Structure formats: C-alpha cells, structure tokens
Amino acid sequence: MKRILSFAAPLLVLSLVLASVPLRAAEMPAAGSNAPEFTLQSQEGKTVSLKDFKGQWVVLYFYPKDMTQGCTIEAHNFQRDLDQYTAKHAAIVGVSADSIDSHQQFCTKESLTFRLLADPGKEVIGRYGSLAANGMVASRNTFLIDPNGVIRKVYTKVNRMCGTGARRGESVVAHAG
C-alpha cells in the first residue's frame, strides 16, 4: 500500500498543477489551410458543425463576451448586413466561451437571427488560435471559409469600430462574386 501511495501522490500533485495552467491557443490556421472542424451547440440548443455549411461560405467570427458594448456593436453590424451575406450564400457564425443561455438572452435582447455557438470549454476557440492572452475569453478574430472548407481570409484583432466588418463583407463579395 505504501508503494502505491508513493507513486500516486506525485501523480496527483502533477495533475493538480497541470489543471491550474491556463489553456493555451493552438497556432492560428492560415489562409489556404483547411478550416478546423467543429461541433458546438447554438443558442437554440441545436448541434452545429462546420460540415453543415458545405457548399456555402462561412464567416466564422470569434468574440469575447455576450452583452458587452464592443461585441454588441459587432453583432449588430453582422445583423445589419445579413441580407448581403445571405445573397452571397454566406452564413454568419459567432463563437464565444459564453453559455447557450447567455447566447439565447443576447440574441433575444439584440434581435440577432444568425447562429451563435457556445464554446465554454474553449476547445474550438483554441483550435482556431483565438484564445485571448488571459485564457478566459476569445480574441476578436474572423475566418472567411469557402464552400469547400478552406480558409480564404483571416482577420485578426478585429476592431469593431473601424470598418473591419465592412472589409469582411467586401471580402465575401470578392471571393464569392
């Protein structure tokens, strides 16, 4: 019994130490690479996967937090331009570490009709290299994914106030046009 404890105790300590280390983001996928697959729950509680969008463009945007000023502005900009994206067969998909309930409240309060996906474990956020330095929320990054699942454009550290959203829209039009 003593022998088992002598092996188990260090492993327990090591696992506790590793559990306290913040999750690190993977390297951000580059334009021209295949988009990492994902499956997450939407604000409607439905399972949504990248493969569900095969044959259409996807504007996959990561954002820090529901109900905050910057994220609300960004979401309103996407909602305002949704008809333009739809005309180009492009789906808007937002991802944050918020819960499904938070997404439901955000969509209801702000009249958002596109999908918001919950990634509380930050696995997909990490796979897309979009985990903020604090390890708690997503960075404001956007990936334009073509109908075959290839990333065509990457926008990093998006400033929702300086017209980057318009440039994302123009990029969809240019690539899908």
What is the set of active-site residues? 71
List beta partners, residue 150.
Answer: 34
Nearest to 126 by CA among 38, 17, 54: 38
Give CA separation, 82 vs 90, 121, 147, 162, 169, in Å: 9, 28, 18, 19, 9
Q: Give the N- to C-terminal CA distance of the chain in Å, as an integer.
A: 70
